[in-house]
Structure 1
Amino acid sequence: MKTIQIFLVFTVTLLFSITVSAQYGNNGYGNNGYGNNNGYGRNQMSQMGQNREPDKPKEIPVEVTVAKIMEKLKTELVLDQLQEIAISNVLKESIRSQGILIKAETSQEQKIEEVKALSEVTDRKVNEFLNEDQKAKYKALNEQSNNSKKSRRKR
Protein backbone atom coordinates (compact mmCIF):
# COMPACT_ATOMS: atom_id res chain seq x y z
CA MET A 1 0.00 0.00 0.00
CA LYS A 2 2.82 2.34 0.85
CA THR A 3 4.45 1.81 -2.54
CA ILE A 4 1.22 2.81 -4.28
CA GLN A 5 1.08 6.07 -2.27
CA ILE A 6 4.70 6.84 -3.08
CA PHE A 7 4.03 6.08 -6.76
CA LEU A 8 0.96 8.40 -6.80
CA VAL A 9 2.84 11.22 -5.06
CA PHE A 10 5.73 10.82 -7.49
CA THR A 11 3.37 10.84 -10.50
CA VAL A 12 1.50 13.95 -9.32
CA THR A 13 4.78 15.75 -8.62
CA LEU A 14 6.08 14.81 -12.05
CA LEU A 15 2.94 16.09 -13.77
CA PHE A 16 3.10 19.43 -11.94
CA SER A 17 6.78 19.89 -12.74
CA ILE A 18 6.15 19.23 -16.44
CA THR A 19 3.33 21.80 -16.45
CA VAL A 20 5.47 24.41 -14.70
CA SER A 21 8.47 23.94 -16.99
CA ALA A 22 6.22 24.11 -20.07
CA GLN A 23 4.97 27.53 -18.96
CA TYR A 24 8.47 28.94 -18.60
CA GLY A 25 9.94 27.26 -21.71
CA ASN A 26 13.34 25.70 -22.27
CA ASN A 27 13.00 23.40 -19.23
CA GLY A 28 13.68 26.21 -16.83
CA TYR A 29 13.86 29.96 -16.87
CA GLY A 30 15.08 30.44 -20.43
CA ASN A 31 17.35 33.13 -21.84
CA ASN A 32 16.39 36.17 -19.90
CA GLY A 33 15.06 35.15 -16.54
CA TYR A 34 11.50 34.04 -17.32
CA GLY A 35 10.73 32.23 -20.51
CA ASN A 36 11.95 33.05 -23.95
CA ASN A 37 11.63 36.37 -25.74
CA ASN A 38 7.86 36.04 -25.97
CA GLY A 39 7.38 35.27 -22.28
CA TYR A 40 7.27 37.37 -19.18
CA GLY A 41 10.88 38.56 -19.38
CA ARG A 42 12.52 41.90 -19.76
CA ASN A 43 12.48 41.82 -23.56
CA GLN A 44 8.72 42.11 -23.72
CA MET A 45 8.72 44.98 -21.26
CA SER A 46 11.41 46.84 -23.18
CA GLN A 47 9.54 46.28 -26.44
CA MET A 48 6.43 47.77 -24.90
CA GLY A 49 8.38 50.85 -23.88
CA GLN A 50 9.87 51.21 -27.35
CA ASN A 51 6.48 51.06 -29.02
CA ARG A 52 5.11 53.90 -26.91
CA GLU A 53 7.94 56.35 -27.57
CA PRO A 54 7.28 58.66 -30.52
CA ASP A 55 9.79 58.38 -33.34
CA LYS A 56 12.08 61.36 -33.73
CA PRO A 57 11.94 62.97 -37.14
CA LYS A 58 14.91 61.97 -39.22
CA GLU A 59 17.36 64.75 -39.93
CA ILE A 60 18.02 65.50 -43.57
CA PRO A 61 21.72 65.12 -44.32
CA VAL A 62 23.61 68.36 -44.93
CA GLU A 63 24.80 67.12 -48.33
CA VAL A 64 21.20 66.69 -49.55
CA THR A 65 20.26 70.21 -48.48
CA VAL A 66 23.37 71.70 -50.07
CA ALA A 67 22.73 69.76 -53.30
CA LYS A 68 19.24 71.28 -53.57
CA ILE A 69 20.56 74.79 -52.95
CA MET A 70 23.41 74.31 -55.41
CA GLU A 71 21.05 73.13 -58.17
CA LYS A 72 19.18 76.42 -57.93
CA LEU A 73 22.35 78.54 -57.65
CA LYS A 74 24.06 76.69 -60.49
CA THR A 75 21.28 77.43 -62.93
CA GLU A 76 20.55 81.00 -61.78
CA LEU A 77 24.15 82.21 -61.41
CA VAL A 78 25.78 80.05 -64.12
CA LEU A 79 28.58 78.83 -61.85
CA ASP A 80 31.72 77.09 -63.04
CA GLN A 81 32.93 73.90 -61.34
CA LEU A 82 35.43 75.63 -59.08
CA GLN A 83 32.75 78.04 -57.85
CA GLU A 84 30.34 75.14 -57.27
CA ILE A 85 32.84 73.27 -55.10
CA ALA A 86 33.88 76.34 -53.11
CA ILE A 87 30.32 77.57 -52.51
CA SER A 88 29.04 74.09 -51.61
CA ASN A 89 31.81 73.78 -49.00
CA VAL A 90 30.86 77.16 -47.53
CA LEU A 91 27.18 76.14 -47.42
CA LYS A 92 27.96 72.78 -45.78
CA GLU A 93 29.96 74.51 -43.07
CA SER A 94 27.22 77.09 -42.57
CA ILE A 95 24.40 74.55 -42.32
CA ARG A 96 26.34 72.41 -39.85
CA SER A 97 27.05 75.50 -37.71
CA GLN A 98 23.40 76.51 -37.92
CA GLY A 99 22.33 73.05 -36.68
CA ILE A 100 24.68 73.38 -33.72
CA LEU A 101 23.35 76.86 -32.92
CA ILE A 102 19.73 75.72 -33.05
CA LYS A 103 20.38 72.75 -30.74
CA ALA A 104 22.23 74.93 -28.21
CA GLU A 105 20.63 75.60 -24.83
CA THR A 106 20.17 79.35 -25.30
CA SER A 107 17.21 81.69 -25.55
CA GLN A 108 15.22 81.95 -28.76
CA GLU A 109 16.24 85.59 -29.28
CA GLN A 110 19.91 84.75 -28.93
CA LYS A 111 19.55 81.89 -31.42
CA ILE A 112 17.90 84.22 -33.93
CA GLU A 113 20.71 86.77 -33.61
CA GLU A 114 23.40 84.09 -33.99
CA VAL A 115 21.71 82.59 -37.06
CA LYS A 116 21.42 86.06 -38.65
CA ALA A 117 25.12 86.69 -38.01
CA LEU A 118 26.00 83.29 -39.46
CA SER A 119 23.87 84.05 -42.53
CA GLU A 120 25.71 87.35 -43.09
CA VAL A 121 29.09 85.65 -42.80
CA THR A 122 27.99 82.94 -45.22
CA ASP A 123 26.78 85.53 -47.74
CA ARG A 124 30.11 87.35 -47.53
CA LYS A 125 32.05 84.10 -48.09
CA VAL A 126 29.85 83.13 -51.05
CA ASN A 127 30.23 86.61 -52.58
CA GLU A 128 34.04 86.19 -52.52
CA PHE A 129 33.71 83.46 -55.17
CA LEU A 130 31.30 85.36 -57.47
CA ASN A 131 31.92 87.94 -60.17
CA GLU A 132 30.00 91.25 -60.23
CA ASP A 133 27.13 90.00 -62.40
CA GLN A 134 26.74 86.88 -60.25
CA LYS A 135 26.81 88.97 -57.06
CA ALA A 136 23.86 91.04 -58.26
CA LYS A 137 21.88 87.91 -59.16
CA TYR A 138 22.78 86.29 -55.81
CA LYS A 139 21.59 89.38 -53.92
CA ALA A 140 18.31 89.35 -55.88
CA LEU A 141 17.81 85.64 -55.10
CA ASN A 142 18.36 86.28 -51.38
CA GLU A 143 15.91 89.18 -51.36
CA GLN A 144 13.35 87.12 -53.24
CA SER A 145 13.65 84.22 -50.78
CA ASN A 146 13.44 86.61 -47.81
CA ASN A 147 10.29 88.23 -49.23
CA SER A 148 8.63 84.85 -49.77
CA LYS A 149 9.45 83.89 -46.15
CA LYS A 150 7.93 87.12 -44.85
CA SER A 151 4.74 86.61 -46.87
CA ARG A 152 4.43 83.08 -45.43
CA ARG A 153 4.76 84.44 -41.89
CA LYS A 154 1.99 86.99 -42.47
CA ARG A 155 -0.44 84.23 -43.46
Structure 2
Amino acid sequence: MKIVQSLAISAFVLLSIQTVSAQYGNNGYGGNGYGGRGRMNSGMSQDRGQDKPREIPAEETISKIMLKLKPAVGLDELQEIAISNILLESIKRQGVILKQETNQSDQMKDLQILSENTERRVIELLNDDQKEKYKIFSEESKNPKKSKKNR
Protein backbone atom coordinates (compact mmCIF):
# COMPACT_ATOMS: atom_id res chain seq x y z
CA MET A 1 0.00 0.00 0.00
CA LYS A 2 2.77 2.41 0.92
CA ILE A 3 4.67 1.86 -2.32
CA VAL A 4 1.61 2.53 -4.39
CA GLN A 5 0.94 5.70 -2.44
CA SER A 6 4.49 6.85 -2.96
CA LEU A 7 4.20 5.96 -6.65
CA ALA A 8 0.99 7.93 -6.97
CA ILE A 9 2.51 10.93 -5.26
CA SER A 10 5.71 10.65 -7.32
CA ALA A 11 3.78 10.47 -10.57
CA PHE A 12 1.65 13.44 -9.56
CA VAL A 13 4.72 15.50 -8.59
CA LEU A 14 6.54 14.65 -11.82
CA LEU A 15 3.56 15.63 -13.93
CA SER A 16 3.14 18.85 -11.93
CA ILE A 17 6.80 19.79 -12.36
CA GLN A 18 6.58 19.34 -16.11
CA THR A 19 3.49 21.54 -16.29
CA VAL A 20 5.19 24.31 -14.32
CA SER A 21 8.35 24.18 -16.42
CA ALA A 22 6.28 24.35 -19.59
CA GLN A 23 4.45 27.41 -18.32
CA TYR A 24 7.48 29.32 -17.03
CA GLY A 25 10.32 27.81 -18.99
CA ASN A 26 11.58 29.03 -22.33
CA ASN A 27 8.20 29.74 -23.86
CA GLY A 28 8.31 33.51 -23.99
CA TYR A 29 9.08 34.50 -20.41
CA GLY A 30 12.82 33.95 -20.67
CA GLY A 31 13.35 36.40 -23.50
CA ASN A 32 14.46 33.76 -25.99
CA GLY A 33 13.84 34.57 -29.60
CA TYR A 34 14.25 38.33 -29.32
CA GLY A 35 17.42 40.27 -30.08
CA GLY A 36 19.39 37.67 -32.03
CA ARG A 37 19.11 36.86 -35.72
CA GLY A 38 19.82 33.13 -35.51
CA ARG A 39 18.17 32.67 -32.15
CA MET A 40 14.88 34.11 -33.33
CA ASN A 41 14.37 31.51 -36.02
CA SER A 42 15.50 28.58 -33.91
CA GLY A 43 13.39 29.77 -30.98
CA MET A 44 10.28 29.92 -33.12
CA SER A 45 10.74 26.39 -34.40
CA GLN A 46 11.28 25.11 -30.85
CA ASP A 47 8.12 26.80 -29.57
CA ARG A 48 5.99 25.03 -32.16
CA GLY A 49 7.25 21.67 -30.98
CA GLN A 50 6.67 22.46 -27.31
CA ASP A 51 2.97 23.28 -27.36
CA LYS A 52 2.31 20.54 -24.81
CA PRO A 53 4.69 19.45 -22.05
CA ARG A 54 6.13 16.01 -22.60
CA GLU A 55 4.35 13.58 -20.33
CA ILE A 56 6.36 10.71 -18.95
CA PRO A 57 4.84 7.53 -20.34
CA ALA A 58 3.39 5.21 -17.72
CA GLU A 59 5.46 2.37 -19.14
CA GLU A 60 8.67 4.30 -18.43
CA THR A 61 7.61 4.93 -14.83
CA ILE A 62 6.70 1.28 -14.35
CA SER A 63 9.99 0.06 -15.81
CA LYS A 64 11.90 2.21 -13.30
CA ILE A 65 9.82 0.81 -10.45
CA MET A 66 10.25 -2.77 -11.64
CA LEU A 67 14.03 -2.36 -11.95
CA LYS A 68 14.13 -1.79 -8.20
CA LEU A 69 11.27 -4.07 -7.17
CA LYS A 70 12.26 -7.23 -9.06
CA PRO A 71 15.63 -7.83 -7.36
CA ALA A 72 14.44 -6.54 -3.97
CA VAL A 73 11.50 -8.95 -3.79
CA GLY A 74 12.83 -11.72 -6.05
CA LEU A 75 10.08 -11.71 -8.66
CA ASP A 76 9.92 -14.29 -11.42
CA GLU A 77 9.04 -13.34 -15.01
CA LEU A 78 5.33 -14.06 -14.66
CA GLN A 79 5.03 -12.04 -11.44
CA GLU A 80 6.94 -9.18 -13.05
CA ILE A 81 4.53 -9.05 -16.00
CA ALA A 82 1.43 -9.32 -13.82
CA ILE A 83 2.58 -6.62 -11.39
CA SER A 84 3.59 -4.36 -14.29
CA ASN A 85 0.08 -4.68 -15.71
CA ILE A 86 -1.48 -3.91 -12.33
CA LEU A 87 0.71 -0.81 -11.92
CA LEU A 88 -0.04 0.33 -15.48
CA GLU A 89 -3.77 0.09 -14.84
CA SER A 90 -3.33 1.94 -11.54
CA ILE A 91 -1.38 4.81 -13.12
CA LYS A 92 -3.99 5.19 -15.85
CA ARG A 93 -6.77 5.31 -13.25
CA GLN A 94 -4.79 7.91 -11.29
CA GLY A 95 -4.75 10.10 -14.37
CA VAL A 96 -8.51 9.75 -14.74
CA ILE A 97 -9.07 10.59 -11.07
CA LEU A 98 -6.81 13.64 -11.24
CA LYS A 99 -8.62 14.96 -14.33
CA GLN A 100 -12.06 14.67 -12.74
CA GLU A 101 -13.91 17.85 -11.85
CA THR A 102 -14.15 17.04 -8.13
CA ASN A 103 -12.72 18.68 -5.07
CA GLN A 104 -9.28 17.75 -3.82
CA SER A 105 -10.45 15.79 -0.76
CA ASP A 106 -12.61 13.52 -2.95
CA GLN A 107 -9.67 12.99 -5.29
CA MET A 108 -7.41 12.10 -2.37
CA LYS A 109 -9.99 9.58 -1.08
CA ASP A 110 -10.27 8.04 -4.54
CA LEU A 111 -6.48 7.86 -4.87
CA GLN A 112 -6.21 6.27 -1.41
CA ILE A 113 -8.78 3.60 -2.36
CA LEU A 114 -7.00 2.97 -5.66
CA SER A 115 -3.68 2.70 -3.84
CA GLU A 116 -5.05 0.17 -1.34
CA ASN A 117 -6.66 -1.92 -4.08
CA THR A 118 -3.47 -1.90 -6.15
CA GLU A 119 -1.32 -2.94 -3.21
CA ARG A 120 -3.77 -5.71 -2.29
CA ARG A 121 -3.68 -7.03 -5.86
CA VAL A 122 0.14 -6.96 -5.93
CA ILE A 123 0.43 -8.76 -2.58
CA GLU A 124 -1.94 -11.50 -3.79
CA LEU A 125 0.67 -12.43 -6.42
CA LEU A 126 3.49 -12.87 -3.91
CA ASN A 127 4.45 -15.86 -1.77
CA ASP A 128 5.01 -15.47 1.99
CA ASP A 129 8.75 -14.79 1.72
CA GLN A 130 8.19 -12.22 -1.03
CA LYS A 131 5.45 -10.52 1.01
CA GLU A 132 7.95 -9.87 3.80
CA LYS A 133 10.51 -8.53 1.33
CA TYR A 134 7.81 -6.38 -0.28
CA LYS A 135 6.91 -4.85 3.09
CA ILE A 136 10.57 -4.04 3.72
CA PHE A 137 10.92 -2.60 0.21
CA SER A 138 7.81 -0.46 0.75
CA GLU A 139 9.12 0.90 4.04
CA GLU A 140 12.52 1.67 2.54
CA SER A 141 10.99 3.45 -0.44
CA LYS A 142 8.79 5.45 1.93
CA ASN A 143 11.77 6.46 4.10
CA PRO A 144 14.83 6.42 1.80
CA LYS A 145 18.38 6.56 3.15
CA LYS A 146 17.40 6.72 6.81
CA SER A 147 20.14 4.27 7.74
CA LYS A 148 22.84 6.37 6.01
CA LYS A 149 21.88 9.49 7.96
CA ASN A 150 22.68 7.77 11.24
CA ARG A 151 26.30 7.08 10.19
% same residue: 55
Q: Which has the larger radius of gyration?
A: 1
- In structure 2, stretches of 5+ residues that fail to align are 1-43, 145-151
Task: Confirm or deny: 8 A CA contact 2:73 2:137 kept in the other structure.
Answer: no
Deviation at 1:56, TM superposition (A): 3.3
Deviation at 1:89, TM superposition (A): 0.6
Deviation at 1:125, TM superposition (A): 0.4
Measure, in 1, the Cα distance between the counterparts of 2:59 and 2:115: 18
Of residues 67, 90, 94, the one that matches 1:94 is: 90
- Write the deviation string for residues 70-95 of structure 1: whole angstroms up to 9, x where unpaired: 11111101111010111101010001
Measure, in 1, the Cα distance between the counterparts of 2:102 and 2:51: 25
Give the number of aligned pairs. 98
Deviation at 1:145, TM superposition (A): 2.5
**Equivalent residue number for residue 120 of structure 1:** 116
What letter corresponds to residue 90 of structure 2 in structure 1?
S
Measure, in 2, the Cα distance between the counterparts of 1:110 and 1:56: 27
What letter corresponds to residue 108 of structure 2 in structure 1?
I
**Equivalent residue number for residue 81 of structure 1:** 77
What letter corresponds to residue 80 of structure 1 in structure 2?
D
The answer to which structure, 1 or 2, has the higher relative contact order (CA under 8 A, 6+ apart) is 2
Of residues 91, 99, 106, the one that matches 1:103 is: 99
Q: Output the TM-score relative to the length of structure 1.
A: 0.58
Quote the RMSD (CA, aligned, Å).
Answer: 1.9
Deviation at 1:61, TM superposition (A): 0.8
- Write the deviation string for residues 81-135 of structure 1: whole angstroms up to 9, x where unpaired: 0101111010100010011111111111111111111010000000111011111
What letter corresponds to residue 120 of structure 1 in structure 2?
E
- In structure 1, stretches of 5+ residues that fail to align are 1-47, 149-155
The reply to whether residue 141 of structure 1 matches residue 101 of structure 2 is: no
- Write the deviation string for residues 41-71 of structure 1: whole angstroms up to 9, x where unpaired: xxxxxxx9xx69x843211111111111111
Deviation at 1:140, TM superposition (A): 1.9
